[in-house]
């Protein structure tokens, strides 16, 4: 229960930044992604333990985690749009991918690295957006999802 709650909180924090930037994938989406990833990892660990206790066979919970990574790639691809020469949604797709990794870490019980990753991601999104706008963009300040 604790892992699930922490995963949901991390997703809310990540989603809040995206919501603030007025992106379509926001608080609820990120919360569900981190929650789902944590649930898959928790399930994988529990199944591994159960199989080991039942017949002594050692199983790898990382196998389920690897399929979660593939699945989020499919979802993330759906948020990338191409219009003419402009591509939008890449940051959102990458953010969902990172949120999945954070959820898997939390599900496995690796709280410290998940916390550092969450904070680093939020800081990176905010800080790098400002740097891009100041030094690269010639447009008015706005949140772009490139």
30: its two tokens: 């990120």
Per-residue pLDDT tens over the stretch 65-111? 888 988 998 888 888 888 888 888 888 899 999 999 999 999 999 99
Nearest Cα residue to 128 out of 84, 80, 95? 95
Range of the domain at 131: 2-135
The answer to whether position 37 is within a domain reads yes
The answer to whether position 143 is within a domain reads no
Per-residue pLDDT tens over the stretch 20-50? 888 878 899 999 999 999 999 999 999 888 8
Give the pLDDT score at 106. Answer: 96
Nearby residues of 21 by Cβ (< 8 Å), 6 or more positions away: 125, 129, 143, 145
Cα dist from 145 to 2, 18, 44, 92, 127, whole Å:
33, 10, 34, 7, 14
Q: Say whether pLDDT at 144 is over 60.
A: no
The answer to whether position 141 is within a domain reads no
The answer to whether position 38 is within a domain reads yes
pTM here?
0.81
SS3 86: strand
How many structural domains does the chain have? 1
The answer to whether position 77 is within a domain reads yes
Nearest Cα residue to 99 out of 17, 1, 22? 17
The answer to whether position 142 is within a domain reads no
Q: Say whether pLDDT at 138 is over 80.
A: no
The answer to whether position 146 is within a domain reads no
Nearby residues of 113 by Cβ (< 8 Å), 6 or more positions away: 105
């Amino acid at each position: 229960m604790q892992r699930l709650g922490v995963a949901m909180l991390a997703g809310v924090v990540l989603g809040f930044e995206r919501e603030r930037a007025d992106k379509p994938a926001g608080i609820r989406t990120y919360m569900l992604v981190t929650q789902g990833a944590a649930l898959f990892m928790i399930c994988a660990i529990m199944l591994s333990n159960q199989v080991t206790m039942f017949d002594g066979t050692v199983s790898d919970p990382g196998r389920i985690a690897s399929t979660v990574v593939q699945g989020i790639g499919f979802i993330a691809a759906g948020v990338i749009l191409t219009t003419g020469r402009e591509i939008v949604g890449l940051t959102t797709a990458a953010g969902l991918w990172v949120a999945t990794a954070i959820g898997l870490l939390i599900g496995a019980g690796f709280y410290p690295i998940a916390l550092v990753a969450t904070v680093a991601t939020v800081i990176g999104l905010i800080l790098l957006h400002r740097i891009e706008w100041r030094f690269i963009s010639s447009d008015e300040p706005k949140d772009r999802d490139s």
